[in-house]
Amino acid sequence: METVQTEKKKKILSCIQPSGIPTLGNYLGALKNWKTLADEFDGAFAVADLHAITVRQDPAKLRQQTSEVLALLLAIGLDPEKSVIFVQSHVPAHAQLAWVLNCYTQFGEMNRMTQFKDKSTSHADNVNVGLFSYPVLMAADILLYQADLVPVGADQKQHLEIARDIANRFNGIYGNTFTVPDPYIGKNGARVMSLQDPSKKMSKSDPNPKGFVSVFDTPEVIMKKFKSAVTDSEACVRFAEGKDGINNLMGIYSCCTGLTMDEIANQFEGKGYGDFKVEVANAVIEELRPVRERYNQIITDKAYLKEVAAKGADTASRIAGRTLNKTMKKVGFLMP
């Protein structure tokens, strides 16, 4: 009888910080595709709460937001029976490996990280060592799970490069220890910009609440925010240079409907921006409706959330523990 060998799935890792409710930009740019990644790859998905404390957090709020983001990962369709879904701080190996890797990372490499420069400016009253070295913790996250692939946006490319550099450096000294990860460039998710200032990325930390849509905003709030979105004076729905507001709305509509820019322009030919904004809002409302409904069911089931977190931590700890033990032995630590 002929044995059929199935090709081993590549491993992929994605993490999200519990620093507030994700925006429509987070959802369309990344989260929407995580279910597809989980089906296609051997996936690990983490709530990166250790990363969140580089900025001072309110303890009760951090706990609440960690539970909310965990519930959201389940609401977007991730299955804890098929993927490893866990809270980062529940797996101590992350902090342990980060310390070891700190000792194999050069100060000059960290000093070149553009996000540190940006964040130290916006948080000038708390420029802590964690803020400086958190790319090493990010490297530990990736390397612990021997991830082959890591989905990255433009603002994370530098961090994946440093993870690759650290892995190569360590492997060069001690022999093959870590998988050197590659970036995963999937189908284009929308790069969603602020509804009030389309030159800036949509952000949950935007001081103007009209600038961003939360994945848990009600249909009424979503409609109101899109109706007040910045456009231009041309009153013509077309994708073109200098039409940042309309380009942003068209990108969002395209991501929700699957229509191309030309198809959108044809659909709204002869119609004003008012009609277009309403239809974009309706598309977003329908896109987020099943996620919000599923989330509302999950977030009230505390026992289920606790069970998912415990199961995820157990599985993640086993995987991470193998890598950590191998690393510790190679460095020369006396093992228990």
Among 11, 32, 119, 243, the one annotated catalytic? 119
Collapsed DSSP state (helix, strand, coil) of residue 94: helix
- Asked whether 118 and 75 are in contact (CB, 8 A), the reply is no
CA distance 143 to 166: 9
User: Cβ–Cβ contacts within 10 Å for residue 92, how many?
Assistant: 14
**Active-site residue 204, yes or no?**
yes
How many other CB atoms are there within 10 angstroms of residue 179's CB atom? Answer: 18
Residue 111 has a CB neighbour count (10 Å cut-off) of 10
CB 277 within 8 A of CB 227: yes
Compute the distance between CA of residue 235 and CA of residue 272 in angstroms, rounded to an integer.
Answer: 6
Question: Residue 43: helix, strand or coil by DSSP?
Answer: strand
- Write down the catalytic residue from 201, 225, 243, 277: 201
Which region, left, alpha or beta, applies to residue 228 given φ > 0 means left and ψ of -120 to 50 means alpha?
A: alpha
Q: Which of 248, 281, 282, 276 is nearest to 264 (CA)?
A: 276
* Separation CA 12–CA 14 (nearest Å): 7
Catalytic site residue from 35, 204, 210, 326:
204
- Annotated catalytic, 277? no
Dihedral, 156, 104, 118, 61 alpha carbons, nearest 10: 80
Q: Both tokens of residue 248? A: 């942003």
Using left for φ > 0, alpha for ψ between -120 and 50, and beta otherwise, residue 146 falls in left
- Which residue(s) pair with 214 in the sheet? 23
Is 117 assigned a catalytic role?
no
Residues noted as catalytic: 119, 201, 204
